[in-house]
Amino acid sequence: MKRAHNFSAGPAALPTEVLEKVREELLDYKNTGTSIMEKSHRGKEYTEVDQQAKERLTRILGLGNDFHIMFLQGGATAQFMQVPLNFLEEHETADYINTGVWSQKAIKETKLFGNVHIPFSSEEEQFSRVPNDDELQLSDQPRYLHYTSNNTIYGTQFQQEPKSDGAPLVCDASSDFLSREIDVDRYGLIYAGAQKNLGPSGVTVVIVKKEFLESISKKNIPTFLDYRSHATRILNTPPTFAVYMVNLVLEWFEDKGGIPYFKKLNQEKSDLLYSTIDVDDFFRGTAQKDSRSKMNVTFRLPSEELEKKFLEEAANNDLVALKGHRSVGGIRASIYNACRLESVKALADFMEYFRAKNG
């Protein structure tokens, strides 16, 4: 069986151990004679999967009893709309830090429901950085402060939570979820599409503080889009297979050592690639150094012709999915939790070879 070095930005690499377990259980889940995909979402087996996944997330993040965890559908894109639909009245203002395409999409949706104030934007700098706290010009009383913790397209990442002057944080954490510690007490809501760091596409984890949820005062929210409908029960048929895989990834994550283990590993992987890039100006990182992402390493070569050659030769060496986002071009290595250190070492070795041959 051939397994390539997969640097896909999402859907992204999954742990081999998890895929092997899925293969083992696919036809016969725990000697029941049926697949987990064929079981009722209200039956004993799936209910146990759902509960285990929520318990593991609670334990990993140290959530205590202060949060609800939901497994929803529609990706982060649906959350761009669902957050303001629930939490923002027409006369209220929410602050949105603009650090890229995903922030822009969230801002566009939010303007349908209330006022948006942008305390910082790096658009004029081609979204090459995230702000320092002293650059944030917050509004007087924002309902919440929204930010995208990691920007897959531009290779930038917040190194810590931004200041919010007491307003609850709302975070699109899709592309760096569970890669480092977070200060959970500062959050009203966190959402993350699973297909980067947590599992396959098709399920979105939404974590909402109970106190924040109770602050919803709107009356006319459609049942399915009302977070309160999902907080304490399974409202409708969820993406059961995707949640099953999320549970297995969380089990693997804990067995490896949890956040401390992956924080150290992600630092090692990103340090290796950035040190390879910074040797000279043959490779040029696109993110400013103090904003560099540990999840998505983006860089350019001296010409588009060399970039095309780099991608072709990399693929011939089983280094796949390295093409930058279509909107910006270049090269992008996505090195989420499940991307092995061996894969990153193989990429760094290839980069050195390619530079020696073409520099």
Q: Which positions are annotated as active-site residues?
A: 102, 172, 196
**Cα 80–329–155 angle (5° rounding)?**
55
204-209 vs 67-72, strand pairing mode = antiparallel
Residue 155 to residue 331: CA distance in whole angstroms:
10
Specify the residue for token string 């011939």: 316
For 74, how many CA atoms within 13 A lie in the half-sphere containing its CB? 13
Residue 36 to residue 310: CA distance in whole angstroms:
42
Residue 247 to residue 56: CA distance in whole angstroms:
8
Residue 264 to residue 282: CA distance in whole angstroms:
28
Alpha-carbon distances of 60 from 169, 226, 238, 263, 268, rounded to whole Å: 19, 26, 23, 13, 21
Residue 115 to residue 87: CA distance in whole angstroms:
12
Alpha-carbon distances of 252 from 19, 22, 249, rounded to whole Å: 11, 12, 5
